[in-house]
Chain A
């Protein structure tokens, strides 16, 4: 391998993960390998840095900045909005969702104090400025399939009402929009269109939720490899029929 190329690969990845790349390979291949390696290495970096710079006191103080005045020990929706503003991101973005996931937040729009302290500690962040550094990494989670899958499944429990088994269709659609950018997930735009037009369901159950990620990652955009005799939930059968009928001329 010409050394030039290796050097360029290293520089592109080193921004996020400072670990030296020993892998060799041609352009694309090494890139993708680098990106899978990134998960582990960045996690490692966070863990190592955590005890050095992390201060529990600073973190608690940081929490109190956003703490709900009416309900101590909790950051409510207003606090979360402010927190997001300070981070410079919109609340309805994947970064915020990843933060919620990392903190192990149970309910959308709320951070409890113990979730915050524990979660931020494991991230090694005790200030907005430190957390901002991770945002790029969080944003790239859709490149890390295993991690993304965990996040995706977390989102289901996170977004649903705690007393419900399933996710209301509006919440589900919102979550999908956050989680699955249409430039990465081929089916999302049409699928949401299908849900709006046909209104086949009122809620999305866990099985449908889980299956949609698999559907999005395994079935080709033109649906030629979709097997209707397979175990896909009926919702997807209906979607496929709808799409084939509606976009017949395009296929």
Chain B
């Protein structure tokens, strides 16, 4: 073997090489009798011969040879009925041979590479000579394309693709087909184009496009028959399997890039085309709570881009309908006992939130839909009652936090309250909740009816976490007042001991910060019973010493007293209001009294006195003689020795509720006006829409202000000359400093 170039006669040496090459292409096994090393030498010699190398000629002659060979192959393929198998077999042989030929002609390839212009125009592969002078393999593939594929396609009704599609169809229908053969045949289309700048073009044009079309037709037909035959849930299950199969099929036969397109085609036909039926079914599934089907529906419908949004609407509306039904069933009873209202909403909320995780794969859009649904539920007026959700929830908290006979375990209370907070967060009118909550907590604190201080404080910190410090500052203040008052009482009794003051009664007091408590002085006057005068005046002195300049306003109408009755069959102890005590103590002095006497001596108004007397008469403690005069009934008897006299004070009156609602409206107006002035002061000039938006943003924590209310506030401020409209413009305001 020599590398020295020598003179070679092409016509003399080529035939031997040609025969060897042909052997390679003809042999059924790759390792035929080929004298590999000789062939290398021959290629080398031909390409280096002088005076003129035969590179070009060699390349062209190989081309001619392959062309001749391949037309034979085409005839072989066409002679079979089973074109695909024949094609795949021949192709495999040809591909392997071409690969070997390429290796043998390595030197030729290298020479070809050199011959190409340095800035080769790859866009025009055939500009110079007959073939793209890339490599022998490229040449071989090109000839195959030109002859076999073109021949099959143009002259024989595209039998190859036709049969391929037919086989795949059979595969879909569950018949057994030759997977490898199909894959090889299809893959040949990818391999054939690997030396061009658009490697997938041939595959897409020849196979993928018709395949997609075929898929479309197949599934259009299939889904239509299936949906007509079966219940939708069965249909969904089938489609689900079909889609998985189709994914696997595509991976088995096609180029990876096709997967997405094929699946999309299936989805269009099986899901999008029938989305109306599927959505209708989704609603039924929700109603029947068939969660397995629900998962199925979600996994199918979430495949298409806008499939989810319609589902979300259905889901949201469904929740709203369910909740409205529940509320509707409660009727007007929910005002009295909001327990069921709150608890059924809480459990619905928990249920559907859970469903988001389990069924909808924790998809945030679905969680948001649940939120949206509940926001709409708690913020729309409840038809059967004038109470709003905010009111009901506040009352629900009161029920939980108030100590009652059949009290709940503390952990239970805590658990319920923490779930209540999730509903609370949906409320727009948080200020309404706050108003009612503060009224009720005031009563709990004053009358000491809380379940426990810990439970109250836990609830407060939850509200604080949800709405911020400002929201709970007054409530917090109330707690502090109660704590300070405890210390004050201890201090006061020490003070009394030190100064050896005999108060004659036990005396305990709550000093409450004005403004933090939703309380106001009573309209009716009251003369303090003489037994208590000393205590009150001593306390005033005591308090004045410690807190100079603070003014005490006595809220007698909220005070309660324990009083012992000594001259009955037993020693009874009555728990009464201070007003009631005032009336009772009068009977210590005079055995019989008329209403007028009582009004005159207590200075209470007549309706109050009548109410008090009625209660005592009802429990038989007082007796009426000749309609206007009352005496103590000495025959009074009761099973219990401790008797608590009910007062209207501890339960809410309708007037109080209306007053509270009105107070909320007033507070809102002030809040909005303050917000507008604050914003305008810092921004100086703003457009109407900007101002309204900023006001809404600021108010959001407490309530959702309506635009007319905001506008009214703006107008009031214009009237009060805090702000003005910018002259000659519409829709702009300016701050007047």
Contact = CB atoms under 8 A, between A and B. Distances in A.
Given A231-B733, A237-B708, A206 B719 contact: yes
Interface in B713-732: 714-715, 718-719, 725, 730-732
A231 B712 contact: no
A11 to B, nearest CB: 36
Interface string A187-218: 00000000000000000011110100010001
Interface residues of B, number: 15
A206 B719 CA distance: 7
B730 A234 contact: no
Contacts of A206: 719
B711 A234 contact: yes
Nearest to B731: A231
Contacts of B661: none
B682 interface: no
Interface in A225-251: 229-231, 233-234, 237
Interface string A97-121: 0000000000000000000000000
Contact of A229 (B689, B712, B719, B730): B689
A234 B719 CA distance: 14
A93 B711 CA distance: 34
Contacts, number: 36
A205 B719 contact: yes
A130 interface: no
Nearest to A231: B688
B731 A207 contact: no
Interface residues of A, number: 15
A163 to B, nearest CB: 16
Nearest to B692: A229
Contacts of B719: 165-166, 205-207
Contacts of B730: 214, 218, 230-231
Contacts of B689: 229
A231 B725 contact: yes
A230 B715 contact: no
Contact of B708 (A210, A218, A231, A234): A234
Contacts of B707: 229
A165 B715 CA distance: 14
Contacts of B708: 234, 237
Contacts of B718: 205, 207
A206 B715 CA distance: 10
Nearest to B707: A229
Contacts of B688: 229-231
Given A207-B725, A229-B689, A234 B715 contact: yes
Nearest to B729: A231
Nearest to B717: A207
B723 to A, nearest CB: 10
Interface string B92-108: 00000000000000000
A165 B719 CA distance: 8
A207 B711 contact: no
Interface in B258-313: none
A233 B715 contact: yes
A42 B733 CA distance: 37
A230 B731 contact: yes
Interface string A45-57: 0000000000000
A91 B350 CA distance: 74
Nearest to B708: A234
A237 B688 CA distance: 15
- A229, A231, A234, A237 — most chain B CB neighbours (10 Å): A231
25 contacts: A165-B719, A205-B718, A205-B719, A206-B719, A207-B719, A207-B725, A208-B715, A210-B725, A218-B730, A229-B688, A229-B689, A230-B688, A230-B731, A231-B688, A231-B711, A231-B725, A231-B730, A231-B731, A231-B732, A231-B733, A233-B711, A233-B715, A234-B711, A234-B715, A237-B711
Interface of A: 165-166, 205-208, 210, 214, 218, 229-231, 233-234, 237
Q: 5 nearest interchain CB pairs?
A: A231-B688, A231-B731, A207-B718, A234-B711, A205-B719
Given A205-B718, A231-B730, A231-B733, 16 more contacts: A207-B715, A207-B718, A208-B715, A214-B730, A218-B730, A229-B688, A230-B730, A231-B711, A231-B725, A231-B731, A231-B732, A233-B711, A234-B708, A234-B711, A237-B708, A237-B711
